[in-house]
Chains A and B, each alone.
Chain A
Amino acid sequence: MFKQGLWACCVLTTVLAGSHAWADTVRIAEHRQARIDALQAVIPKIKEATGVDVEIVEYPGPDREYVSKLLTELAAGTGPDIFSLPEISQVVDFSTAGYLQDVTAEVQGSEAYGQFYDIAKQLSTSDDGKIYIMPTMLSVQQLYFRKDVLEKAGISTEQPKTWDELMQRAIDAKAKTGQYSLMLPMGVTWGGGPFIEGFRHLLAGSSNPQIATDDGKLDLTSKGIGEVFGFYEQMVKNKLLPVDPLLGPEPWVIPKYQMFPAGELLITSCGSWCLIFDWGPKSKNPIPDVTKVVGTWAVPGKDGGEHVMVSLSHPWAVGASAANPDAAKKVLQAMGSIDLMVSYAANEGNLPARKDAVDNAEFQKLTALVPIMSYLDKGAYLKTAPGFSTVVEGVARATEALLLGNTDAAGAQKILVDYAKSTLGEDQVK
């Protein structure tokens, strides 16, 4: 009897110890090899700073599949403890679904908060004043062009002032070089790319620069959206972009990784990551002297003005179903470190959300990124509202119809409106 009791105690102790150890292990979901490498490099420091064991769980690479898997798990209450959201517009949809922990106190109480750029603070704070995400990286997106090819062809490399000027320059470049001259992502298979890496850039310079209204609805019938689709229609009609690769399963591979480095595509939209990951030191097909042969333009407004798009890139959140929320929040706080931000900058090419990261010796080595940090104080961004993810998908569908020549600008806008209404209901769409 005594022996049996002793055995029972041993087993119970082991089980409790095991479950305690499990509860103190924080699982972080990460996807894409470059991002996994970046996180892996700083895990020892996070463990040391928090005393919490951290495990990286690899998720599917493409953002769309990553988000689908994440949502399915979160809905079932089995999601990871900490995860990133590829696009800032997803925060509102995730938080209203109850998938995110309120981390206002932890983020505002972190040593990083005082160093965050104002735009990082603004974008991470929801309309209700709560914070659900730790902003670690910012993206600056604008137009990138092959300076060497354009100069050789006698095409001006001065900042274009209007959409018409940009379009005319692309038309001239195509006529003189015979190469595809202007590509903004289009089509369904690019996932969120058409909206995130193109549509919103133009929209911010259109007659109606915002989609989300003050009462939390989505204004998709605006004149501005029609103007943006009109620009896309012109781009397709003038055959400025390669259609076939954009309809393939990985539409970014040929234009971004092959054609642009080869000088077969002359102007495209991209973020600072292109100078590191797509064409820089982390690329499989790097452009020699990338910062010299590739130039940047801010995105011109329709009738004047210019801007770059700034957004949070993959902000981190704690899942509502985290096994040990306190440990997860502790780790989240530690993820606001300069080390983590510089590691992601070096591996992926986005920019640290902290001002003091500029002085970091490792970051200073990333010479392509350092000058871009100055844009972070003056970037444009779009407000979000519930259902914004639907707009992202709707824009992908509408641009695909334009790409195939199945519709015109007005038809593309109708596709977007119909899709949003069908998914979100009439009430959510203005």
Chain B
Amino acid sequence: MSVSFTRREAWRNRFLILPSVLLLAAFVVYPAGFAVYTSLTNEALSGPAAMNPRFVGFANYAKLLTDQNFWRSLAITFWFVLFSAIIGQLVLGLLSAMLLNRRFALRPLVNAIILMPNAVPEVVAALMWASMLAAGEYGTLNNIVAWFGVDPQRWLTSFPLTMIIIVNIWRGIGFAMILMTSGLSSISDELYEAARMDGANTSQIFRRITLPLLVPTIFLYLLVSTVSTIAIFGLVFALTRGGPAGSTELVGIYIYNQSFNSYQLGYGSAVAVVVLVFSLLVGMLYVRALKVDV
């Protein structure tokens, strides 16, 4: 292979990725950089600081350290990610994938039911659930539980975090199932046949063959779902707006509230930068420490 051909190939490849690089630079790198800059100012959307923003150094970051609401929103986000993305969606997605790996009469219907939440726009899904979980006699769920003699509940007031976790699990199972199905299909049937011939039972086959060979897929899923769940906004905002009393104020909603309700763009940007760094660390943890090829 000649040197000039190699060079030409290299230039062609650079040219081919140029559109992606430009788009990433315009819509990811530049806004992120601008957020870092804004986080070092007292920029606001209204009031005197909107007209004359000042450079305040790391004052916004110092304020973060003592802001109990910020730490509370981080804690809420942690539990939300843990129970909805890492445990709920993964376990149910895996179970769904294994179920649908078998042939049975209603397989297409079950498949459609699991995938349908992904086809519903986020805000529509949230409004639908708001109607389902409405308090008093107006809520669909209250009408359902009434058949079993249960008194009407304030689902979104008494169990707000649990409810948004359930809604997010409902919405995310489909994606988890697709990834797990692709992972399962990459496992050779010969391995299962050999195991059965050696007398392995279903549980042993799952623990010794399926699970170990699914690990790369699982971690790929965890990487994507963890980062996207940390950044979740629309579904929960449309459902609870972070309430009641901040009990579902995920960090994405906290950033929005600081920036667009309290109008403190500088401080909101500082929170966003911290979350960005945190997401990057989580991603690196998955990719590097667990040595997964992505």
Contacts and interface: CB of A to CB of B under 8 A. Distances in A.
A64 interface: yes
Contact of B243 (A93, A189, A244, A386): A189
Contacts of B260: 68, 71-72
Contact of B47 (A72, A97, A422): A97
B243 to A, nearest CB: 5
A423 B245 contact: no
A348 interface: no
A393 interface: yes
A404 to B, nearest CB: 5
B50 A97 contact: yes
B69 to A, nearest CB: 8
A188 B262 CA distance: 13
B134 interface: yes
Interface in B105-164: 130, 134-136, 138, 154, 156-157
Contacts of A93: 46-47, 263
B134 A248 contact: yes
Secondary structure of the A contact surface, majority rule: helix
Contacts of A68: 260-261
B55 to A, nearest CB: 16
The 8 closest A-B pairs by CB, nearest first: A97-B50, A244-B135, A98-B51, A93-B46, A71-B45, A68-B260, A423-B262, A96-B48
Contacts of B45: 71-72, 75, 97
Interface of A: 64, 68, 71-72, 75, 90, 93-94, 96-99, 187-189, 243-245, 247-249, 254, 386-387, 389-390, 393, 397, 400-401, 403-404, 406, 422-423
Contact of B46 (A71, A254, A406): A71
A249 B261 contact: no
Contacts of A249: 130, 238-239, 241
A406 B67 contact: no
A390 B242 CA distance: 18
Interface in B33-81: 44-48, 50-51, 63, 67, 69
B48 A189 contact: no
A389 to B, nearest CB: 7
Contacts of A71: 45-46, 260, 263
A188 B243 contact: yes
B217 interface: no
Contacts of B264: 423
A390 B239 CA distance: 24
9 contacts: A97-B51, A99-B46, A187-B243, A244-B135, A247-B156, A247-B244, A386-B47, A400-B245, A404-B245
B133 to A, nearest CB: 10
Nearest to A415: B245
Contact of B50 (A98, A393, A401): A98
A387 B50 CA distance: 12
Contact of B262 (A75, A187, A393): A393
A423 B42 CA distance: 11
Nearest to A420: B262
Most buried by A among B51, B130, B244, B264: B244
A74 to B, nearest CB: 8
Secondary structure of the B contact surface, majority rule: loop
B230 to A, nearest CB: 23
B261 A404 contact: no
Nearest to B135: A244
A386 B244 contact: no
Contacts of A387: 47
Contact of A422 (B67, B157, B263): B67
A159 B42 CA distance: 49
A404 B157 contact: yes
Given A97-B50, A249-B239, A389-B46, 17 more contacts: A68-B261, A71-B46, A72-B45, A72-B260, A93-B47, A96-B50, A98-B51, A187-B244, A189-B241, A243-B157, A244-B135, A245-B136, A247-B154, A248-B134, A249-B130, A397-B245, A400-B243
A72 B259 CA distance: 10
A404 B46 contact: no
A244 B244 contact: no
Contacts of A245: 135-136
B233 to A, nearest CB: 14
Contact of B244 (A64, A72, A404): A404
A390 B263 CA distance: 9
A96 B51 CA distance: 7
A386 B263 contact: no
B73 to A, nearest CB: 13
B131 to A, nearest CB: 10
B153 to A, nearest CB: 10
Interface in B254-294: 260-264
B254 to A, nearest CB: 12
A188 B241 CA distance: 9
Most buried by A among B136, B246, B262, B263: B263
Nearest to A242: B136
B67 A94 contact: no
Contacts of B44: 97
Nearest to B153: A244
Contact of B245 (A75, A254, A393, A406): A406
B165 to A, nearest CB: 19
Contacts of B63: 422
Contacts of B263: 71, 93, 389
A247 B243 contact: yes
Contacts of B262: 390, 393, 423
Contacts of B242: 188
A247 B245 CA distance: 10
B105 to A, nearest CB: 41
A98 B52 CA distance: 9
A243 B260 CA distance: 27
Contacts of B154: 243-244, 247
B157 A247 contact: yes
A189 B262 CA distance: 14
Nearest to A402: B245
B137 to A, nearest CB: 10
A409 B175 CA distance: 47
A226 B242 CA distance: 26
Contacts of A423: 262, 264
A90 B47 CA distance: 9
B241 A244 contact: no
Nearest to B46: A93
A400 to B, nearest CB: 5
A94 B241 CA distance: 25
